[in-house]
Structure 1
Amino acid sequence: MSVLLLVFAGLLLLAVLLSSLANRTILSTAALFLVAGFLLGDGALGVVSLAPNDEIVATLAELALFAVLFTDGMRVGWKDLRTAWRLPGRALGWGLPLTLVVTALGAHYLVGLGWMESLLIGAILAPTDPVFAAALVGNEKVPPRLRQLLNVESGVNDGLALPFVMLFLAVAAGSESLHLGELGLELGLGIVIGVAVPWVAIKLERTRWFSASTAYEPLNALAIGLLVLALGKATHGNLFLAAFCAGITVATFGERQRESFEHFGELIAELFKLAALLVFGALISLPLLGSVGWRGWLFAIVALVLARPLAIWISFLGSGLNVREQAAVAWFGPKGFASVVYGLIVLASGIAAAQEVFQLVAVTIVVSILLHSSTDIVVARWFDDEQEVPAWYGVARRLRERVRKERGAS
């Protein structure tokens, strides 16, 4: 534990020192933690020794996903969803399930997994990660509708994929209808906790008896999140669905609470994400990557290059997006943090195909991080006016106009 903490602290300091460079180049802090975990894990140097059944793995995955879903939910209050639903609705209502289905077909026919395990992999790999689209979203020359689409989609799809992951995992574990009923109760209880706790807390603060000071304002949403986490643990409600619903509830009813917590919350979520990537990398080894065979690597390519682009193309037929915009949305469907944690949850679940599912998920995420983190700057520059119209093009056009005028004068 102490070694893991030391390694994480050192990598975090290095990431901070390199963060400005990473914003201008293809360098990615996410890739840094993943690669460092791989090199320092048992598969290479053996500095960080972890096993899938270690308590730290499950605990970190749980806390990290809770924090990320809570902050994701805060990005998309009901008002945001209602005013900006047209294009994100296509990506989430059609693109997400189509990506799930195409990915599942690849897992079944290319690798030979059973249908339930294939659907589980599809649900795990369906969400996208906004980290690798940061250069695109941050480029003011990118059309606002495209930036809004990527923001809303990446903020919502982690939570939307969660029930499918839980359902397919329960069925793959051999659950009977009674257990599925318990799963439904768990999900429903998570929704109730996630909506009720923040709503009551926000209403209490608006009474004449309570008021948060400026210094404690950022802790308001943190206290709500911790209370949701504790109640979910105590009642066995689904923590992740509770976190996502709590974030949406705060964003909907407590705009001030959301604004005061936004920067603080993003930092907390980022810490957990980087720690989970380090642990995920430490669980990957060369034998694991090699054991998937050429079919597993082919599946990873299909999941990244075919599943998402095909789903987006179908989803955005007649949407008004031009070819360049559709291509950008289709390519930026990277498999990131949510897929990492879902993969860790499956690995610790004990289902018969847990190791095989984790291997395929791990290979796909590794390829995705390497490909998407090295192409975000390139794709973002598609929308740069100077890149779109090179300088020589303007000079050549002026020369042609001058020649045309001279010929007309003669």
Structure 2
Amino acid sequence: MSLLLCFALLLLAAVLLSSLAHRTILSTAVLFLAAGFVLGDGMTGVISLTPDDPTVKLLAELALFAVLFTDGMKVGWPQLRTAWRLPGRALGWGMPLTLAVTALAAHFIVGLDWPESLLIGAVLAPTDPVFASALVGNEKVPPRLRHLLNVESGVNDGIALPFVMVFLAVSAGSDDLHLGALALELLVGLLIGVGVPWLALRLERLRFFAASTQYEPLNGLAIGMVVLALSYALHGNLFIAAFTAGITVATFGPRQRQAFEHFGELGAELLKLAALLVFGVLISPAFLGEISWTGWLFVAVAIFLARPVALWFSFLGAGLNLREQAAAMWFGPKGFASVVYGLIVLKSGIAEADLLFHLIAGAIVVSILLHSSTDVVVARWFDDSAETPAWHRRVRRLTGRR
């Protein structure tokens, strides 16, 4: 009951502060994360949760399912074919390189074995546009940069998932390595994610079936719930099913996607905020104090070096100016998908699960605080009409010439 009451009060506060948050460095996501940190057992003890609590697992699964389903709807094949050049570079080159640099840091700085190093690299590779919302949603920012960040963050959660599952299976050791079962789980999830939406959309085109205007936004919700239920029943991978279902709806049902878009985004946002609150509860000053200095050095490399180096290499010859490339390199926030993947690692039972979760949590916390507080500042960098200091105008003229 305390969790529900705290979430309701925080949600009301987030709604009342949402307009201010769009104009300043204030972030509703940071509000929920910080509130969980303060309300958890490590501080005030108002909310008492442990990683083994069923609420944590259920909420994390539902939230990531909703996020991947709505993310998939943003990237139907028609959209990908028409504007794939820059996102393709970020996903095809940038994401694997980010994973590799992060894995190298984990191996040589923290001393993790290669399977665990690759696992933490896969967990921290996805990005989240929520923590750079002022940049993605600001019309002063060049459209190609906004499209790049939006498509990349919408796709990379689903792309990272198979790597997380495979590296997690390898980290479990040869006795527990069941790649055949894992492949079957992913395949079943893929078939459910494609088959259920395709059949539902085909049925709606029959003359006996048609959704009324009032119920049309619920069409996407109904499809998502059927995909979720079948994935549980047939032991398919929930997250692959969610992501492919979203892409299938976007590809074969553009009208249904448009009707569901706003409703689905709000639902996914509610679940994300609830999961961030729970994630904050699991972190405490003592928890963060358990991270060694080498762990914090790894966090710094993962945030300040891994993505910038990967994106710099990926966009060589892409035609982005210095401002656009710098913004793309910086805004790689470790967001909600990394939170859930980190919880999956924690509950996996592998030998280094606790150490990995500490490193993942430290990187996520630092990333959320840094990226969500600098998105407005960088967005103003692209606003030539805004009042800016003289030194800022000189830098902007210099980067414009370059």
TM-score over 0.5 for the pair = yes
Q: Which aligned pairs between 1:208-219 and structure 2 lie closer than 5 A?
A: 208-219=207-218
Deviates more, 1:201-210 or 1:141-150: 141-150
Q: Which residue of 2 aligns with 1:203?
A: 202
SS at the partner of 2:214?
coil
Distance 2:191 2:276 in 1: 30
- State whether residues 170 and 177 of structure 2, in contact with CA within 8 Å, keep that contact through their aligned partners in structure 1: no
- State whether residues 219 and 256 of structure 2, in contact with CA within 8 Å, keep that contact through their aligned partners in structure 1: yes
- Report Cα offsets for 1:249-273 as digits up to 9, x if no partner: 0000001110110000001100110
- Report Cα offsets for 1:33-65 as digits up to 9, x if no partner: 111101111111111111111111111111000
Q: TM-score, normalised to structure 1's length?
A: 0.93
Q: Which residue of 1 aligns with 2:25?
A: 26
Distance 2:306 2:155 in 1: 19
Distance 2:347 2:3 in 1: 20
Distance 1:6 1:320, change over 3 A: same
Q: Which residue of 1 aligns with 2:248?
A: 249
Identity %: 75
- Report Cα offsets for 1:162-190 as digits up to 9, x if no partner: 00011111111125596111000100111
Q: Which residue of 1 aligns with 2:81?
A: 82
Distance 1:365 1:197, change over 3 A: same
Residue 391 (structure 1) shift: 8.3
Counterpart residue type for residue 280 of structure 1: F
Alignment length (residue pairs):
393
Counterpart residue type for residue 142 of structure 2: P
Distance 2:14 2:126 in 1: 25
Q: Which residue of 2 aligns with 1:280?
A: 279
Q: Which aligned pairs between 1:114-193 and structure 2 lie closer than 5 A?
A: 114-175=113-174, 179-193=178-192
Q: Which residue of 2 aligns with 1:73?
A: 72
Counterpart residue type for residue 338 of structure 1: A
Q: Which residue of 2 aligns with 1:268?
A: 267
Deviates more, 1:324-333 or 1:135-144: 135-144
Q: Which residue of 1 aligns with 2:41?
A: 42
Residue 386 (structure 1) shift: 2.9
Counterpart residue type for residue 129 of structure 2: P
- Report Cα offsets for 1:112-135 as digits up to 9, x if no partner: 111111111100100000012211
Q: Which residue of 2 aligns with 1:305?
A: 304
Distance 2:192 2:116 in 1: 30
- State whether residues 346 and 354 of structure 1, in contact with CA within 8 Å, keep that contact through their aligned partners in structure 2: yes
Q: Which has the larger radius of gyration?
A: 1
SS at the partner of 1:375?
helix
Distance 1:388 1:19, change over 3 A: closer
Q: Does 1:101 align with 2:100?
A: yes
SS at the partner of 1:52?
coil
Distance 1:382 1:392, change over 3 A: closer
User: Structure 2 unaligned runs (5+)?
Assistant: 394-402
- State whether residues 61 and 345 of structure 1, in contact with CA within 8 Å, keep that contact through their aligned partners in structure 2: no
SS at the partner of 2:233?
helix
Counterpart residue type for residue 258 of structure 1: R
Residue 194 (structure 1) shift: 0.2
Residue 151 (structure 1) shift: 1.0
Residue 387 (structure 1) shift: 4.9
Distance 2:350 2:339 in 1: 17
CA RMSD after TM alignment: 1.6
Distance 1:388 1:99, change over 3 A: farther
Q: Which residue of 1 aligns with 2:56?
A: 57
